Amino acid sequence: MERLDRIYQENPQLRLLNEQKAAEVPAGPALNGYKLQAIITVPVVVHIVLPNPWIVTDADVQNQIDRLNLDYSGLNPDSTNGSGFYAVRGHSQIQFCLARRTPGGQLTNGIERKASSAGSNVTVATDPIKRSSLGGLDVWDPTSYLNLWVGTDVSGQGILGYAQFPGSGAPADDGVFLNYQSFGSSSCYTISAYNKGRTGSHEVGHYFGLYHIWGDENGCTGDDFRQLPAGSCSLPAGLFNPTGQGNTGSDVGDTPNQGANTTTCPSGTVTDACSGSAPGKMYQNYMDYTADACYSMFTVKQVARMEWVLDNCRAALKTSLGCQPPASAIQLDASPFQSVNPWV
């Protein structure tokens, strides 16, 4: 949300346009009309920018992709802490693969590294980690790849990650930044509270159009099923609440009205001023700020919103060839991993 505020500062008219959009209610089909009809696999390229980018291994990257696939399918085995919300638990048909071909048609493993001290700064208009000219790595075609940048946060705000909402911001910035300390599940560098790769699940949720579950206003009037920020992606009726008032008087949202974010790992039923009785807050939702060990679910309508965004606002991802190696590529069963000279 801090990044979105920065975009509004650079373009004040976008904020006004967003307020106008929120009052409009475009026509749309029933909720089940927003479901994808088959599994769509999204190609992912991971840009690692660190003084020693090899600290994040290929196995660490694959671990993060595996986590995304588990969490988005709803097949993660640690879902029992959200049993009180099983009636609205969502199962997405969005899946992810590491890219096998570059935008130029060359073979790739979907990972590129750069030894650099350049980090990510969410507070500046041009994030250094996303520009080769500033020490980072440039975006791959954002219509064909989900771009993940992995590196350090240099904003001074302790950012675990941030994403660009669909249809907003510059194409060169489109994608997700993940702090390497909350990337994957490495015991070497991840922070213990964020060591299950679920910062990625959270930020990719933003990338596909989800807001924070508490509505971002620290009270009972905010709504996480608001219209998307002004840009080229406008949600139809059924996927956003035009009143924007905590889902009051609307059947659009299926997340409990929640007063503020959760920053720990609770257990059992937790209530607050906005959800005062069981089942209480949905702190298990990936769009809260809960510690990774307590994240476990999206809802049915969150899934519908993400799948509609993929189907309409990020539609080119559906036909991307990024997951397919080029036909001319030589497929090897083995390759050198490390050269060791015992005489040195």
List the Cα angle 332/106/325 in 5-degree steps. 55
| 236-269 CB burial, b ≥16 within 10 A, e <16 | eebbbbbbbbbbeeeebbbbbbbbbbbeeeeeee
pLDDT value for 339? 72
Residue 308 corresponds to which tokens in the numbers above?
């509609």
Task: Return the closest-CA partner of residue 262 out of 319, 218, 325.
Answer: 218
Model confidence pLDDT, tens digit, residues 291-312:
999 999 999 999 999 999 999 9
pLDDT value for 89? 97
pLDDT value for 35? 84
Q: Is residue 277 situated within a structural domain?
A: no
Q: How many folded domains does the chain comprise?
A: 1
Give CA 311 to chain center in angstroms. Answer: 16
Q: Is residue 283 situated within a structural domain?
A: no
Question: How far apart (Å, rounded) are the C-alpha atoms in residues 287 and 200?
Answer: 11
Model confidence pLDDT, tens digit, residues 162-204:
999 998 889 999 999 999 999 999 999 999 999 999 999 999 9
Task: Return the closest-CA partner of residue 65 out of 97, 102, 111.
Answer: 97
> Do the beta carbons of residue 197 and residue 68 sit within 8 Å?
yes
Q: Is residue 205 situated within a structural domain?
A: yes
Q: Is residue 99 situated within a structural domain?
A: yes
Contacts of 89 (CB under 8 A, 6+ apart): 74, 79, 82, 297, 298, 299, 300
pLDDT value for 207? 98
Q: Is residue 105 situated within a structural domain?
A: yes
Residue 278 corresponds to which tokens in the numbers above?
């069981």
Q: Is residue 275 situated within a structural domain?
A: no
Q: Is residue 51 situated within a structural domain?
A: yes
Q: Which domain holds residue 190?
A: 2-12+20-211+298-319
Count of CB atoms situated within 10 Å of the CB of 115:
12
203 is catalytic: yes
Low-confidence ranges of the chain (pLDDT < 70): 1, 4-33, 230, 244-251, 329-333, 335, 342-344
Q: Is residue 263 situated within a structural domain?
A: no
Task: Return the closest-CA partner of residue 316 out of 176, 164, 140, 173.
Answer: 140
pLDDT value for 231? 74
Q: Residue 169 belongs to a domain with what CATH number?
A: 3.40.390.10
Exactly one of 10, 24, 203, 307 is catalytic; name it: 203
